[in-house]
Amino acid sequence: MRVEELTVKIFADGADLAGIKDLAKRPFVKGFTTNPTLMRKADVRDYRQFALDVLAVVGDRPVSFEVFSDEFADMERQALEIASWGDQVYVKIPVTNAQGIFSGPLIKRLSTAGVNVNVTAVMTPDQVARVAECLAEGTPSVVSVFAGRIADTGRDPIPLMAESLQILRARPKAELLWASPRELLNVIQADAIGCHILTATSDIVAKLPLLGKDLLEFSLETVQMFRNDAVKAGFRIDTMQPSLSS
């Protein structure tokens, strides 16, 4: 399989503006996501200006920006402001606040008002079902299930993702997003079950051209890499032992 044959949409996940500009040149990148943690790592200081800079380089592709308040009233204010930045903007709402209180009423108000929401940090099919009940049937939305973090606990995320897809059939405008992939294989897994979107960090995006690569060719390239690096490093092993062929 080649990247052009994937049905799952690849969204780039990050907060490095230069990297986003580069990824925006790649036709197989269909959208973008970010979050406060990535933005902090990238030393973003002005949230609004960063978002506007991103929107200026990605064209009409969807972009998700996250609220960061922990109070629902303030979350709603932030969400409405973020949504005003562009028609392609999705507002990321965490499935609960930091106290574990379900964000459902806020999700319902925003979705009913026509705000495109991306409900994030979802981990279980039960959470998916509760979120789905809050989504307006006519408003586009995304439900981000953190399959990579699920796998980090030793659980196979594929059955949970497949179940989540079935749940979301009741909301035709809701898309399931495979979040936090750990390796390129996750792209194939997401595609195989019919997941709508997968977010990929720059390191995974860089590996996408490897899809379907001939393994013997890959083996030879790996041997050549080891040999070239050994030569560049000037490695030597001086020995008095005779060779096996002598």
Q: Which residues are known to be catalytic?
A: 92
- Candidates 68, 62, 66, 6; CA nearest to 32 is 62
Let me know: does 79 contact 111? Beta carbons within 8 Å.
no
Bridge partners (DSSP) listed for residue 176: 143
Q: What is the 3-state secondary structure (H, E, C) of 22-77?
A: HHCCCCCEEEEECCHHHHHHCCCCCHHHHHHHHHHHHCCCCEEEECCCCCHHHHHH
CA separation for the pair 12, 25 (Å, rounded)? 12
Radius of gyration, alpha carbons of the chain: 22
CA separation for the pair 240, 222 (Å, rounded)? 30
